[in-house]
Amino acid sequence: MGPAGCFASDKKRKGVILSMYVGERLMLEGNTISEHRHGISVSVFLALAFLATATWAVDKRIVVDSAGRRIEVPAKIERVFAAGGPASVFLYTLAPEKLLGWTSPLTAEERAYIPAPYARLPTLGRLTGRGNTTNVEVVLASRPDVILDYGTINPTYISLAERIQKQTGVPYLLFDGAFDQIATTYRSAGAALGVSDSAEQLSRYTERLLADVDKRLARIPAKSRPLVYYARGPRGLQTGLKGSINVESIERIGARNVAAERIGQGSLVSVSPEQVLMWNPQIVITIESAFATVAGSDEIWKSVIAVRSGHVYTAPTLPFPWLDSPPSVNRLIGLKWLGRVLYPELFTDDLRAETRTFYGLFYHKVPDEQQLNELLSGPGRSR
Amino acid sequence: MNQIADRSVRSNAGRKAALGFGFAIMALGALILISFSVGRYPVSLNELWLLLWSKISGMPSGLPIAAETVVLKVRGPRLIASMIVGGSLAVSGGVYQGLFRNPLVSPDILGVSSGAALGAVLGIYFSLGVVGIQILAFAGGLSAVAAVYLIGVFLRQHDPVLTLVLAGVVIGTLLGSVVGLIKYLADPYNQLPAITFWLLGSLTGITSADVWVILPAIVLGLTPLYLLRWRMNVMTLGDEEARALGVDTRQIRLIVISAATLITAAAVSVSGIIGWIGLLIPHLARLLVGPDFGRLLPASILLGAGYLLGVDTLARTISTIEVPLGVLTAFIGTPFFIWVLARSQTGWR
């Protein structure tokens, strides 16, 4: 990642004139500059002028995004168009007041966890990702200062961003959505959007959480970690292989993803029940409540140790899923939950308190007792 | 003299058909044996025998419970389902090819697959369970064909067969675009992959419950088709000729379309979209036993069952992950179909 978010001066005429004026004022007031040492005073003047443009940046500045692109953005960014699901969650946690709208409509259940003004934001569609649902005119009509995307950085997304930026004239910033980059990305995006203080808070929390998770994980040798199967799809027969974005949380919490061990590298794939029976995972993690409710009575799944011993866990999903989709910062709290489910003897601290802190800090609303029950005490939520 | 020639032709056809049936039954038997003994969970032939024997004799087999589950609850139902689905699609294809007097017709010609796809995709979109998705797929398939048939009824002034086919194409395209719309609106991280997997067709996770649910519908559809086999032969002569011979073509068409739709919708509701079988197998069956529906129907069932059984066995064994059936049938089907086209200059009737 480049030195994201660092600004350089931009020599707009207006900026230069203002800075010259400021520089002069400073020179007149400053007694340290003697008149006969003209050369020095000129260079001091220039330095001051430079400083002034940087500090009182007038209407434009340059931002470097995670792809290393240098982009000219307005000095004050008030309105941000989130290009996709992960971006809207990321932006909502960082600067909800700048979020122009959600990618897809929020359900009533989701809205209950989000403060009213943000819950009422319009649905604008997604700009990139797998298929656009928005119209470039919608983007323009919402008058964004910048467009922000959060996720994988690759040539496809970079060229898409370039195209939209050229077409609309709206700066398009790409930020790296990798799990281990969350803290860094918060800082660079915070600097770019002018919300460094809240970014610092969020990235400190992230660093603390990840460090805490790592410290605990260090105590369990790799061999004594449980074999986990991640079930997706209505029959629970779709799963993520090694390196797939779907199992990033499960890998981050140090669990042994059975499909990754037995099949290897890949993305989301379909497997047969024979394979699941042979792997015989000790724990099944899922995001499909429809699957979780039938797994216990399904004549095939019944033979899997995890199901027989009641170790099928469904990740909470409100307002944003704790695992997997969208792959954004919403997965952070999911790590704590996974820790509790996979290593109950290590992750003994109060998950309710942690949830309150996380939701307050990231989602701007502390859930009430009933919501906490809904999140943490439903069937298949905890040991 | 004419009579003698006719008789010899008929007995020739009979001999050819008997040979064809013998071949098809033997191939199917061999395939069942092979399919039962291969899979991702290793079960040896000996263990297989022990298991089946313990089921018959009621004695414990002494094998791990997982092995028993694999054979009796995973692989067994899947083998049966693959044969039922394959046979069903092949029969509907054969019936439609005769009814529409066109060798390029497949069971989806009247929109049953597109309707089923839309139903299933809606089910996934609304996060329903497997049963809900299957019910919607089944209902979607039936409604699509009902809509096509009604359009045909209302546009009476044209050739009825042509109207049906055109209405089927149009409705199919419309439903396909609605499927596209829902894919577009679906959650790209969660629902979209599930939709894609369903649309590619797969029998992974089939349980005996699924088999029991679709079997009655399929038997219900097959019965009238078999009973009407002679009239179907007449129908292949064309609408006017059939009517001249005293067949109520409108009535027969309605019954045949309903029956074939019932079969296809039931099959597709558990398997997802599997192309090619309905197009390909009837041709092969015709090559083997000739165009008489009395023979063509059972031959299509046998060959379709064997074909999908074989393809599904490949789908669950050639890779560590499941290969979508729709992809495999196309890969095997395309060269095969070209071969059939090249050599079937002779009539398809």
**CB atoms B316 and A264 under 8 Å:** no
Contact predicate A279/A227, CB 8 Å: yes
> How many angstroms separate the CA atoms of A272 and B75, rounded?
10
pLDDT at B69: 80
Instruction: Give the residue-averaged pLDDT of B146-157.
Output: 89
Position A35 pLDDT exceeds 50? no
B59 touches A: beta carbon within 8 Å: no
A325 closest CA partner among A102, A84, A158, A156: A84
Binning pLDDT at 50, 70 and 90, where does residue A46 land?
low
> How many angstroms separate the CA atoms of A186 and A329, rounded?
10
Contacts of B185 in chain A (CB under 8 A): 104, 133
Output Rg (C-alpha) for chain B, integer angstroms.
21
Contacts of A302 in chain B (CB under 8 A): 69
B64 touches A: beta carbon within 8 Å: no
B53 touches A: beta carbon within 8 Å: no
Whether B272 is covered by a domain: the verdict is yes
Closest-approach residue (CA) in chain B for A246: B189
Mark B177-207 as b/e (b = at least 16 C-beta within 10 Å): eebeebbebbbbbbbbbbbbbbbbbbbbbbb
Per-residue model confidence as pLDDT tens digits over A337-351: 999 999 988 888 888
Residue A129 CB contacts under 8 Å (≥ 6 apart), including other chains: A83, A84, A85, A151, B188
Per-residue model confidence as pLDDT tens digits over B292-335: 999 999 999 999 999 999 999 999 888 888 888 988 988 888 88
The residue that leads in pLDDT, A33 or B93, is: B93
Whether B250 is covered by a domain: the verdict is yes
How many beta-carbon pairs under 8 angstroms link A with B? 122
Chain B interface disruption, residue of A133, A274, A287, most B CBs within 10 A = A274
Look over chain B and give the mean of its residue pLDDT values, rounded to a whole number: 86
Highest mean pLDDT among A133-142, A271-280, B186-195, B260-269: B260-269
pLDDT at A20: 43
Binning pLDDT at 50, 70 and 90, where does residue A48 land?
low
The residue that leads in pLDDT, A15 or A357, is: A357
Contacts of B129 in chain A (CB under 8 A): 234, 290-291, 293-294
Helices (H), chain B: 2-37, 45-57, 65-68, 76-99, 112-125, 130-154, 160-185, 191-200, 208-227, 229-235, 239-244, 249-271, 277-289, 293-317, 325-343
B317 touches A: beta carbon within 8 Å: no
Closest-approach residue (CA) in chain B for A325: B189
Per-residue model confidence as pLDDT tens digits over A57-112: 458 899 989 988 999 999 999 999 998 889 999 999 999 999 999 988 899 999 99
Binning pLDDT at 50, 70 and 90, where does residue B74 land?
confident
Percent of chain A with pLDDT over 70: 83
Closest-CA distance, B42 to chain A, in angstroms, reads: 9
CATH of span A74-195: 3.40.50.1980
CATH code for the domain of B322: 1.10.3470.10
pLDDT at A39: 52
Closest-CA distance, A259 to chain B, in angstroms, reads: 10
Per-residue model confidence as pLDDT tens digits over B316-326: 888 888 888 98
Contact predicate A52/A22, CB 8 Å: yes
Position A41 pLDDT exceeds 60? no
Highest mean pLDDT among A255-269, B195-209, B214-228: B214-228
> How many angstroms separate the CA atoms of A276 and A237, rounded?
8
- Listed by number, the residues of chain A in 224-253 with a beta carbon closer than 8 Å to a beta carbon of chain B are 232-238, 241, 246
Contacts of B184 in chain A (CB under 8 A): 131, 133
Whether B153 is covered by a domain: the verdict is no
**CB atoms B74 and A300 under 8 Å:** yes
A104 touches B: beta carbon within 8 Å: yes
Position A3 pLDDT exceeds 70? no
Per-residue model confidence as pLDDT tens digits over B228-287: 988 888 888 888 888 888 888 888 989 999 999 999 999 999 999 998 899 889 988 888
pLDDT at A23: 42
The residue that leads in pLDDT, A31 or B86, is: B86
Choose among A130, A262, A270: nearest Cβ to B188: A130
Binning pLDDT at 50, 70 and 90, where does residue B118 land?
very high
Binning pLDDT at 50, 70 and 90, where does residue A377 land?
confident
Binning pLDDT at 50, 70 and 90, where does residue A134 land?
low
pLDDT at A16: 42
pLDDT at A24: 43
Pull the structure tokens for residue A166: 């050229």
Binning pLDDT at 50, 70 and 90, where does residue B178 land?
very high
**CB atoms B322 and A264 under 8 Å:** no
Instruction: Give the residue-averaged pLDDT of A162-173.
Output: 87
> How many angstroms separate the CA atoms of A100 and A78, rounded?
9
> How many angstroms separate the CA atoms of A248 and A223, rounded?
19
pLDDT at A50: 53
B75 touches A: beta carbon within 8 Å: yes
Look over chain A and give the mean of its residue pLDDT values, rounded to a whole number: 82
Contacts of A104 in chain B (CB under 8 A): 185, 187
ipTM over 0.90: no
Residue A166 CB contacts under 8 Å (≥ 6 apart), including other chains: none
**CB atoms B74 and A234 under 8 Å:** no
If you classify domain A216-376 with CATH, what class do you get?
alpha beta
Contacts of A85 in chain B (CB under 8 A): 187-189
Binning pLDDT at 50, 70 and 90, where does residue A28 land?
very low
Closest-CA distance, B4 to chain A, in angstroms, reads: 57
As a whole number of angstroms, the longest Cα–Cα distance in chain A is 95
B27 closest CA partner among B340, B334, B313: B313
Number of structural domains in chain B: 1
> How many angstroms separate the CA atoms of A230 and A291, rounded?
12
Percent of chain A with pLDDT over 90: 39
B185 touches A: beta carbon within 8 Å: yes
Contact predicate B251/B234, CB 8 Å: no
Per-residue model confidence as pLDDT tens digits over A274-300: 899 889 999 999 988 888 888 888 888
Give me the domain span that covers residue B57.
2-106+201-343
Task: Output the 3-class SS for chain A.
Answer: CCCCCCCCCCCCHHHHHHHHHHHHHHHHHCCCCCCCCHHHHHHHHHHHHHHHHHHCCCCEEEEECCCCCEEEEECCCCCEEECCHHHHHHHHHHCHHHECCECCCCCHHHHCCCCHHHHCCCECCCCCCCCCCCCHHHHHHCCCCEEEEEECCCHHHHHHHHHHHHHHCCCEEEEECCHHHHHHHHHHHHHHHCCHHHHHHHHHHHHHHHHHHHHHHCCCCHHHCCEEEEEECCCCCEEECECCHHHHHHHHCCCEEHHHHHCCECCEEECCHHHHHHHCCCEEEECCHHHHHHHCCCCCHHHCHHHHCCCEEECCCCCCCCCCCCCCCCHHHHHHHHHHHHCCCCCCCCHHHHHHHHHHHHHCCCCCHHHHHHHHCCCCCCC
Per-residue model confidence as pLDDT tens digits over B29-59: 999 988 888 888 888 888 888 888 887 887 7
Contacts of B70 in chain A (CB under 8 A): 273-274, 277-278
pLDDT at A21: 42
Residue B66 CB contacts under 8 Å (≥ 6 apart), including other chains: A277, A278, A280, A303, B41
